[in-house]
Amino acid sequence: MIRLIIFEDNAHLRKSLMALFESSGTISLEGVFSNANTLARDIANTQPDVVLMDIRMPGLSGIEAIKQIREINPQIKVVMQTVFDNDEMIFSAICSGANGYILKSSSSETYHQSVEDAYLGGAPMSPSIAAKVLRMFQQQNKQVTTTGYGLSEKEYEVLRGLVAGKSYKMIAADMSIAYPTVRFHMKNIYDKLHVQSMTEAVAKAILEGVVRPPVN
């Protein structure tokens, strides 16, 4: 069972998410909180695998909460939920180590799948968010010194797939390799790029010109 906790200040959405995950057969809802002001204590008491985090809350913001979670336990996966009305806030969350983003208008199935994908090492994003994030990175991609970071050709291919918005399964199929092999390459990519999450790897790859994003 995937241990999940939720931080969400909207009471109606909070109740809806509780109903969704309490009936899940693969996810164990360990706690639901209206703010992150006692984050360290809440994490210690619940020991989550995945955190579903509201990006805007009274008191400690979702972005500041990500930073604290990375200090407490870098292995915890954090999926942001947002209305995506602020590019700078989303970019800050990526740089802070968020593992994925979903819109608050997402379906129950999308919420459930996003938690599972994050737990398995993926970077779940609503399609409109993924497209906007890529455009945002393209705008930020100034003249920088490009380095290959010693990536192998297979690692480059995996990273190119991620930048194109593909899942581990899609990359495995494209490369005719097993799913665990993709995860093995990802571990090497994390080590070589000195990052801790999928979104950090994609951000660094684009911002430093290691891999160019697709042009739509």
pLDDT computed for residue 144 by the predictor = 43
The residues spanned by each domain of the chain are 2-137, 142-207
Give the domain 142-207 fold. Answer: Arc Repressor Mutant, subunit A (1.10.10)
Longest CA pairwise span in the chain (Å): 50
pLDDT tens-digit readout, 108-144 = 998 999 999 899 888 887 777 776 666 666 665 544 4
Q: Residue 100 and residue 71: Cα distance in Å, rounded?
A: 18
**The pTM is what?**
0.64
Residue 147's pLDDT band (boundaries 50, 70, 90)?
low
Q: Which long-range contacts (CB under 8 A, 24 or more apart) does 95-98 make?
A: 95/200, 95/203, 96/63, 96/66, 96/67, 96/70, 97/66, 97/67, 97/70, 97/196, 97/197, 97/199, 97/200, 98/53, 98/66, 98/197, 98/199
pLDDT computed for residue 90 by the predictor = 72
pLDDT computed for residue 194 by the predictor = 87
pLDDT tens-digit readout, 156-212 = 899 988 887 788 888 999 999 999 999 999 999 999 988 888 778 887 887 777 875
- In CATH, the architecture of 2-137 is 3-Layer(aba) Sandwich (3.40)
